[in-house]
Amino acid sequence: MRLVLAAVCLAAFSANALAAQVPATSAIDAVTVFLSGAEVTRIAKVHLDKGEHTIVVGDLPSSAVPGSIRVEGRATGKLDIGSVDTARKLLQRAESEATDAQRRMLEDRIQSLKDQRTLIEGQVLAAKTQKKLIANLAQLPTRQPPQAASAAPIDDWTKVLALIAQASTDASKLSLDAEQKVRDIDRQISDADNQLSALAPPRTEQTEVRIHVIAQSPLDVDLSLRYQVPNAYWAPLYDARLQTGSKTEPPKLSLDRRAAITQRSGESWDGVAMSLSTSRPSDGSSAPELDTQTVDFEPEVKPVAAPPPPPAPMAMAKRMAPAELDAAPALGGAIANAEMEAEETVSQLKVAPFDATFQVPGRVSVADTGEAKRVLLSTEDSEPALGCRSVPKVDTNAYLYAKIKVSKGSPMLPGSVYLFRDGTFVGTGGLPLLQPGENYDLGFGVDDQVKVKHAVLEDKRGETGLISTSHVDSRNFRVNVKNLHERPIEVTILDRVPVSQNDDIKVEMTGRVSPTTQNLDDKRGVVAFQARLEPDEEKILEYGYRVSWPAAKSIVYGP
């Protein structure tokens, strides 16, 4: 028999107060992590005798959202459900007590080490002072004795200097030993601080679930509790490994989909079945409402008489009543601003264009420390088409690109991608949202086997016409591209031409070649020249543009 219970805050029936309490210990079995938040599934087993009982599950974290708690179960006999209540309680668990004891022990150890360090630092200071005094004593033989005193015998000075040398050596050794002890204590303090930071915070507050039931006969119950926690999320990551191939071998691309899972839910997820969902259950469920918008003529501004100048402070104080004087701000202080109507911030709904779930292979453990846990979702191998792009007006390097195609099934979420080319890490890029079947060109850094040169052939301004003259800007360029690969490759040269914002300004392309594509990616004025180069082939592109406008006006080029 299957039972589905909704966790709602209900007043317990009077009969429930007399029911026998049956404590149940649950364990996390599965977790579904969303882009914001997570849903945790716990399982518990209890045995019930005939009669009324209250099953108490008290090991849910305090971060569990009360309205999200759901209970499902299976029983070996007839079981009647009264209600399901939830409450936040301060609970002292054995593991919390152990953690507290370990924390106190580490704190005492750190304090003891700091006390030792202070004592040894005093020894270092004493040794330095002793060395300074010994250095001063070593200067005595070179000083002139007072006239009334007689010089010490040479034998006495020899003994004194020997004692000074021995004392100086002892002081230096003492200082060195003390400094070594200080460094060792600093390392011990650092290790103890790291252990203290690694301790999970004490779990003193938890959520308790009380399930009121009536068993018609002795039976066993398998409970499944599901609830959501807010402090968890996952982010997509990618590893792209490109083998550029050779004359006989085609290029190969291996794309690994990964996920970085982070959580601070107040409980550790140890050996759980992990699923990753692209939905956001914590976001709004309805679109925002729109109010009526009106349009009207702007009201006429009527002249307003200028207000009289403010009275002098003393005159104003004289006109104030005694009560007003008590409430008025002190002279020279700031007068409170007029009240302003508060505006409520409107929440924005972010609707995901898809909803997919990834099942992580095997069992996964994610600690409650906020550190990211990376897992592998899938690996896709393909033979991509390679090409090069260059923007020689800005950078004469050619950059290698591999065309990837998203396989059918699930889309690719936006995320960082770590790029490897022929086994070498070449940098980090980014992937946008890509739907199944969509193509995308992924860059893999500079391609040294494609050489690009850029030269300005003409850059001048002049006038045309005999009677009605106009100004003209003429600019022409030459780009040399050479393929040093052992295989053919597609090369794209990108540039831009000015876009006229006025009918009197004329812009036209010039040169021997015309762009293959204009307004590339819907960007006005951006042009592309595409060509397929065979091994060791070189192409020359000569192109330009001319801008003309009336002589009586001036122009300015935008960014």
- Fill in the amino acid letter for 201: P
Residue 229's closest CA among 204, 268, 264? 264
Return d(Cα 399, Cα 242) in angstroms, integer.
Answer: 14
Pick among 1.10.287, 2.40.128, 1.10.1060, 1.10.3470: CATH of 96-144+160-198: 1.10.287
Return the pLDDT at 318. Answer: 42
Q: What is the pLDDT of residue 5?
A: 44
Give the tens place of pLDDT for each residue, 450-499: 999 999 999 887 766 555 578 899 999 999 999 999 999 999 999 999 99
What is the 8-class DSSP label of residue 394?
T
Q: How crowded is residue 242: how many other Cβ atoms within 10 Å of its Cβ? A: 25
What are the domain boundaries of the chain?
2-91+203-230, 96-144+160-198, 235-280+352-385+407-438, 450-550
**pLDDT confidence of residue 518:** 92
Q: Identify each DSSP E strand in 367-511 by its residue range.
A: 373-382, 385-391, 395-405, 415-421, 424-431, 439-446, 450-464, 470-483, 489-496, 506-511
Closest CA to 495 of 541, 458, 451: 541
How are beta strands 415-421 and 424-431 bridged, if at all? antiparallel
Residue type, 42: R
| Alpha helix ranges (H) inside 354-491 | none
Measure the CA–CA gap between 376 and 554, rounded to whole angstroms: 60
Tell me what pLDDT residue 319 has.
Answer: 43
Category of 46 on φ-ψ map: left (φ > 0), alpha (ψ -120 to 50) or beta: beta
| pTM (2 d.p.) | 0.60
Bridge partners, residue 418, by sequence: 239, 428
Please state the three-class secondary structure of 303-324 as a single string. Answer: CCCCCCCCCCHHHHHHHCCHHH
pLDDT tens column, 310-319 = 554 444 444 4
Residue ranges, the chain, pLDDT below 50: 1-17, 312-354
pLDDT at 332: 35
Residue with tokens 């980090």: 428
Alpha-carbon distance of 404 to 436, in angstroms, equals 11
- What tokens does 448 get? 């040294």
Token duo for residue 136: 């001063």
